[in-house]
Chain A
Amino acid sequence: MKMTKKKIQLEDGRYLVYFGFPESKKSSGSQDTDAAKTCCCRSKDDDKSGCCGGKE
């Protein structure tokens, strides 16, 4: 599993580490809205391309 690590030093000398996961979908609520936007299953419009076929 891929994980990126970036260690920085804060102004008062303490360290902080950012962890990143390039392979995992980031969900800040945007995952759902994106799916709603691109997938026809939710709008019941059967002819749109890019439909997930009910998988989402």
Chain B
Amino acid sequence: MSELRWHPILQEWVITATHRQNRTFLPPDDYCPLCPTKPDAFPTEIPSEDYEIVTFENKFPSFRHPAPEPAVEGTELYKVRPAEGICEVVSYTSRHDGTLTDCTLDEMRNLVEVWTDRFQELSSRDFIDYVLIFENKGKDIGVTLYHPHGQIYAFPFIPPKIQTELKSASEHKQKTGRCLFCDIIEEEYKDKRRIVAENDSFAAMVPFFARYPYEVYIFSKKHHQSMLQFDEAEKADLANILKVVLLKYDNMWGISLPYMMVMHQAPTDGLDYDHYHFHIEFHPPNRTQTKLKYLAGCETGAGSYINDTVAEEKAAELRQAEPSTVENTFIKL
């Protein structure tokens, strides 16, 4: 059973997906649904004996196409609608052990190509208004499968956080005539203390307004709205800066740092979003090597974040963590 229930107080859709309760939870190491199916072994989700990158429809999706009719009847106040959409899993590699950080630069470049393909294909569906590419990494984030993988949610609506960003960007554009995100990049470069890494096409930073201690934003230097506008050099540079940021995260304390990685791109509902600007956000839950930041009363209850660190110091820690460069990536400070 799944449906969208309207939250009349926050004015947003809540996705109810009760079938997800019995999804696979931490299977033993010898059975992984994302490993290739070996001869005479129990079949996995992926019937081939080997593969490079695979995407497939999630077995326990939050959205479906076609979506079942809602199980409850809506009212004027309590609107319901079918949870129409598509959820895909992206298996980054056939290797079970390791993480995205361990993928080679070549493999990351290939992944950028796959992300672009999926973004293009899913956004072309008329019932899809937004395509969210993301990864939850680590048990601390609630990950149920260890095999390196990410997800793609193709939404039938524009998610609330994106709506807020769009509203801010649109207001900034009206007031100044400029792009909000381009102005943020410029402001960060004026100060320089919060820049973590950069290359020709991308800049990574712990922004002035970070809500998590080790929050990193990667912005395209050019004013692009989505990956579809990247040329070959930009795609290679995206792979490169991802590799640098991921290595820094893991090298900082010598642990595989958990994170939520989300790609923010323009909606795909056919309207004009020229005022929006491509970026990737990383939200690692760690405050220290051993302590996590919990979204407690103030955050969950009031939507107000308390960050007990300052971005300038956390950016310096990440900047100092190895490496500062991977091939064509460099810091010009």
Contact = CB atoms under 8 A, between A and B. Distances in A.
Nearest to A28: B95
A26 B52 contact: yes
A4 to B, nearest CB: 9
B179 interface: no
Contacts, number: 61
Interface residues of A, number: 20
Contact of A19 (B46, B110, B232): B110
Summarize A's interface: helix, strand, loop or mixed: loop
Contacts of B253: none
B106 A24 contact: yes
Given A1-B113, A5-B117, A21 B52 contact: yes
A15 B53 CA distance: 14
A55 interface: no
B109 A24 contact: yes
Contact of B55 (A3, A16, A28): A16
Given A10-B56, A26-B52, A28-B94, A19 B114 contact: yes
Given A1-B232, A3-B117, A28-B94, A17 B56 contact: yes
B48 A18 contact: yes
A18 B51 contact: yes
Contacts of A3: 110, 113-114, 117
Given A1-B113, A28-B95, A19 B53 contact: yes
A27 interface: yes
Interface of B: 45-48, 51-57, 59, 94-95, 104, 106-107, 109-110, 113-114, 117, 232, 235
